[in-house]
Amino acid sequence: MNTKVTVAFLNFVTDKSVQNNIDQVLTLMEQAKEKGAKWVFLPELWTHQSASLDEFRTLSKQADQIVLTQVQKACQMHQLVCFAGSWTETSTHPDKFYNTQYVIDEKGEVISKYRKVHLFKMDDGSPDPYRETKKFVPGESAVTCQVDSWKVSLSTCFDIRFPEYYIACAKEGPVDVITVPSAFIQRTGRDHWEVLLRARAIENQAYVIASNRLGAHEDPRIKAYFGHSMVIDPWGTVLLDTKDELGVFTATIDLQRISEVRTLLPLMKVKQYKKDIY
C-alpha cells in the first residue's frame, strides 16, 4: 500500500465576483494535477467578499447556487480530491448562512461536509466590532470522514482555538489529518497562527493542513489576511509555509510518519489509563 499522498494549496486573492474566483480555482486545479498532486486544498470563504452586508448576502446566495457543481466537474476531470475550503450554504434563517466546508472526491461526489461550529468574534473597542454571527448560523456537529486510507477531521479557522473540538473528533479513534481552511487576519495571524496549528498537530499526533487566504479586504476591521498556508507533520514540524505567495504549492504526507510519532510517544495509550481523571 502506498502510504504517501501529495497535497497542494491553491493560493489566490479573492475578489467580489463569484465566477471569477471559481475560474481562478479551476485553473489552479489543472496546474496542481500537472505537479502530481492527489489532494488539493482551498481556504475559507474563497468564493466572494464584500464589506457591505447586503452585497455579501446577495453574493452568498449566488455562491450557494453555482460553486459546488463546477468544482465537482473539475475534480472528476482532473481526478483530484478537493478539500474545497468553505463557502456559504443557505440556512433556514432568511439572512444568514452556514459556513460550510466541502470534501469532494475524484469522482466529483461530495463525501463529507462540515458547518463551522465556532463563529469568529473580536472585541477591539470599536463601536461596530466584527461578528460572524451577523452573517452565519453555527454548525452543531464535529465531523470526520474517511479519504482513502486516511481518517480526516474537518475544522475551519476559529475552531483551531478550541482543542476540545478535536477531542470530540477523535472519540472513535485518532485522526490522521486535520483540515483548517481559514481566513485568519494579519492582526491575529502573526502571533497565533503557527503556534495554534503546531499545537493541534502535536497533541493529536496528526498532520495539520491549513489553507489560509491572502490579500487585502475593504472592510477596515479585517484589513488583510495573513496567508502562510501550512502543512505541519505529527511531530509539529512545518513541512510547507507558502507565506504570501500565489500559485500552487505541494508537499507530501505519509501515514508511516504518524505511526513513527505515535510509537515514540504513545499518547493515545496513556490516555486510555486516565479515563478516571478526564
The residues that are catalytic are: 44, 116, 157
> Residues near 34 by Cβ (< 8 Å), separated by ≥ 6?
none
Per-residue b or e along 186-218, where b marks 16 or more CB atoms closer than 10 Å to that residue's CB: beebeeebbebbbbbbbebbbbbbbbbbbeebe
Pairing label, strands 150-154, 143-147: antiparallel
> In the beta sheet, which residues pair with residue 240?
231
- Check: CB of residue 118 under 8 Å from CB of residue 160: no
- Check: CB of residue 40 under 8 Å from CB of residue 29: yes
Q: From 207, 199, 134, select the one nearest 162 (Cα to Cα).
A: 199
- Cα angle: 14, vertex 216, 244; to 5 degrees: 80
Say which residue the cell 477596515 belongs to. Answer: 220
Distance of alpha carbon 62 from alpha carbon 54, whole angstroms: 13
> Residues near 275 by Cβ (< 8 Å), separated by ≥ 6?
none
Distance of alpha carbon 99 from alpha carbon 45, whole angstroms: 8
How many CA atoms, within 13 angstroms, populate the side-chain half-sphere of residue 111? 21
Q: Which amino acid, 16?
A: K
